[in-house]
Homo-oligomer: A and B are copies of this chain.
Amino acid sequence: MNRPVYTLKDIAELAQVSRGTVDRVVHGRGKVSKKTYSKVKLILDKIDYKPNLVAQTLRKGVLYEIAVLMPDYQYEIYWKRAFEGVNKAITDYASFGITIQTFLFNPYESLNFKQQYEKIVSGKFSAVLVAPIFYKESLVFFSKCRDAGLPYFTFNTYLEDSGAITHIGVDLFQNGKTAGSLMHKVLSGDDEYLVMHINEELKNSRHMQEKEQGFNQYLVNKGVVADQIHVLTVDGIEKIEGQLMQKLSDVDKIKGIFVTTSKVWMVAKILHTHALDKVLIGSDLLEENVHYLNTGIIDFLIFQNPLLQANLGIQSIIDHLVFKNKIHDRILLPIEIIIKENLREFQA
């Protein structure tokens, strides 16, 4: 079953050369005659030599340094969990010679994003994990990484053709479908639906679109007619209450509301003060959302485990660096459905 493990010494003996020469072939450090090179290379390939990581780490002190570039949770609490995921990875892998350095940026300042990525590009990292929430700036960053020969991995925000080795995230379309399905199970035949976009920031707009489309597609497949699905886009927090109440009084058959962003608690608050009973679905485990889930105003929260995303991101990088595995282009994480009763374990 298990093939024997060869060391440099073994190979040196097999090839009748010295360890140093084998080492040069392994690392392509030149200074090897063609003849010896091919002789050693042949053996190397046949036995699929993998250097002993432990020895490598002991010798080099540090095996790999990984950079993480993500928003600072001081500005957006959503990122706190992702940060924790990175921290977990830091402690988990420190003893094995892998160090991780975190670069946080203000998610409302693309300039700050640039400042941080400059540090990474000019540093001496083996790979970088990034949450590319700024579209244009990220493309520039990627091209700089390619120039520097720095492998990059993305999480949270998917950019098509980014050139990232692996992306770790969730399928937003499916996320919307999940919301649609849950709501459809709970409501009955001629009830009507409302999709709400609470849109402080343009950078989220694609996210919201995808979710809406998934939501619609599910319902339409189930025979809900387009007239039964309403959309409300609010582009300022102060306008929410007015616009929502207007909509609900215009269309009193609306029985379910799907909020595409994490600001669902604002809707919950409004429903609560007006004593309105609707099926309410939102995203993310913000403290406020959890509160309204517990009080029963929010029925479902859909959760894209940011802690796990970040943690898996690091793991993928290590897989790539250490084990040289060609892994998946895209790792899709579960879309978690959260209700009051299964909330606790997700908060741990």
Chain A residues proximal to chain B, CB less than 8 Å: 52-55, 57-58, 95-97, 170-171, 174, 177-178, 180-182, 185-186, 218, 299, 322-323, 332-342, 344-346, 348
Q: List 5 A-B contacts (CB under 8 A).
A: A171-B344, A174-B344, A335-B341, A335-B345, A337-B338
A interface SS class: helix
A341 contact from B177, B299, B344, Cβ within 8 A: B177
Minimum CB–CB distance from A5 to chain B (whole Å) comes to 10
Q: Which residue of B lies closest to A95 (CB)?
A: B53
* Chain B residues whose CB sits within 8 angstroms of the CB of A299 once the complex forms: 185
Excluding A95-B322, A174-B344, 5 further A-B contacts by CB distance (< 8 Å) are A96-B96, A181-B340, A334-B336, A334-B346, A335-B345
Structural contact, B181 and A96, CB atoms closer than 8 A: no
A345, chain B: closest CB distance, angstroms? 4
The one of B322, B341, B346 in contact with A181, judged by C-beta atoms closer than 8 angstroms, is B341
Q: Across the interface, which residues of B come within 8 angstroms of A342, CB to CB?
A: 174, 178, 334-337
Task: Give Cα A54 to B339, complex, Å.
Answer: 44
What are the 9 closest A-B residue pairs judged by CB atoms, nearest first?
Answer: A337-B337, A335-B342, A334-B345, A178-B341, A177-B341, A181-B341, A53-B95, A54-B57, A54-B58
Most buried by B among A55, A186, A322, A341: A341
CA distance A58 to B51 in the complex (A): 13
Residue of B nearest to A333 (CB): B345
Complex Cα gap A322–B93 (Å): 12
Chain B residues with CB below 8 A from A52, complex form:
58
A339-B95 in contact given A58-B58, A332-B348 (Cβ < 8 Å): no
Residues of B within 8 A of A53 (CB): 95-96
